[in-house]
Amino acid sequence: MSDVVLELKDLHTHFFTDSGEVPAVDGVSLTVHKGEVVGVVGESGCGKSVTSLSVMQLVPNPPGKIVDGEINFKDENLVHASKKRMKEIRGNEIAMIFQEPMTSLDPLFTIGNQLIEGLRLHEKISKKEARNRSIELLKLVGIPRADQVVDEYPHQLSGGMRQRVMIAMSMACNPELLIADEPTTALDVTIQAQILDLMRNLNKEKETAIMLITHDLGVVAEICDRVVVMYAGKVIEEGTTREILKSPNHPYTKGLIRSLPNMKQKEQKLYSIPGTVPKPKMGRVGCRFAPRCEFAFERCFQEDPELFQLENNRSSRCFLNDETEGDVTKNAETTIRN
């Protein structure tokens, strides 16, 4: 596959706050190809949303700023794109479903107003046509009484209905790249399945590239081709969905998968990775996961692990994959087995 739609190269997005510089996105590289669905998972606060907002150039500035790196959308580095160009791109070539619908739905306008405006911005159609299209779109995402909802305000809708309005908006303009930030968190599983189907159709029929941020590993298994795992502002593991879910390499990914509640077992207490994410700050050395990692050894606290390339296009940012660390690796493997 060579049709790269989105390529992030060593992206750094920082926040300049009163209490110092926060490297929320700390050197993220990833690619999304045409017709591909890439899942992005990772600890709450690890920089997933800021990464996607960076692509859209929507990081609030100040305090946020892309300080380094490239965002290549096809042949264009968006870091240098003009405001005017970005406006053209947003909602047209790249659409985004935001994590919290209320951040992007205007409480003062009806659902119809917002959908119609969006449609007419990108297509020359009459108000009436746009209204009909809006109602169709609402029906498509499974909203009942769409002809009434179109005249209602966001606060009159349930959480999941708002989320679906956002999804309807994002799909309206046949984007080349869809960034979906936790698009189904507020949806019950039957509607979720319906929305995932819609996304899959968009992906198959129009070859839309999708970057799907989610914490739901079930959703990942369902729809993603590849998975990128992030931790503390960095990509720490990457691979095909099957490999990541079946045989995770990085200790964080392993912990994540172990934490899943399982419908079949009846354990009282769930596993959870001990400790919490350290405060993001500048100039940190060593593996970001070391304070919580059961396999950590001396080197982990002294050096930043690189992203080790493994077979099958997999990669993992963990020293246990370094062949020069023979002994440690063996020890770790015995620990895992026990």
CB-facing half-sphere around the CA of 227: CA atoms within 13 A: 30
The backbone torsions φ and ψ at residue 261, rounded to the nearest 5 degrees and listed phi first, read: -70, 140
Considering only 20, 63, 159, 278, the residue that binds Mg ion (CB under 5 A) is 159
Interaction mask 247-276, ligand SF4, x per CB under 6 A: ---xx-------------------------
- Which of positions 319-338 make contact with ligand ATP (CB under 6 A)? none
128 touches 135 (CB < 8 A): no
In the bound complex, what is the minimum distance in angstroms from residue 121's beta carbon to ligand ATP? Answer: 26
Nearer to another protein, 73 or 289 (CB): 289
Tell whether residue 290 is a contact of ligand SF4 (CB under 6 A). Answer: yes
Give the span between the Cα atoms of 301 and 289, in whole angstroms.
9
Tell whether residue 314 is a contact of ligand ATP (CB under 6 A). Answer: no
Residue with the closest Cβ to ligand ATP?
A: 160
Considering only 14, 33, 48, 254, the residue that binds ligand ATP (CB under 6 A) is 48
Q: Sheet harboring 226-231: ordered strands across?
A: 94-97, 177-181, 209-213, 37-42, 226-231, 234-240, 314-316, 308-310
37 touches 223 (CB < 8 A): yes
318 touches 251 (CB < 8 A): yes
Tell whether residue 320 is a contact of ligand SF4 (CB under 6 A). Answer: yes
- Which of positions 124-143 make contact with ligand SF4 (CB under 6 A)? none
- Which of positions 87-116 make contact with ligand ATP (CB under 6 A)? 99
Give the span between the Cα atoms of 165 and 158, in whole angstroms.
11
In the bound complex, what is the minimum distance in angstroms from residue 215's beta carbon to ligand ATP? Answer: 6
For 218, the token pair is 């079930």
Q: Pick what 4 binds: Mg ion, ligand ATP, another protein, none; C-beta below 5 to 8 Å, kind-dependent.
A: none
Residues that bind ligand SF4 (CB under 6 A): 250-251, 287, 289-290, 293, 295-296, 300, 305, 318-320
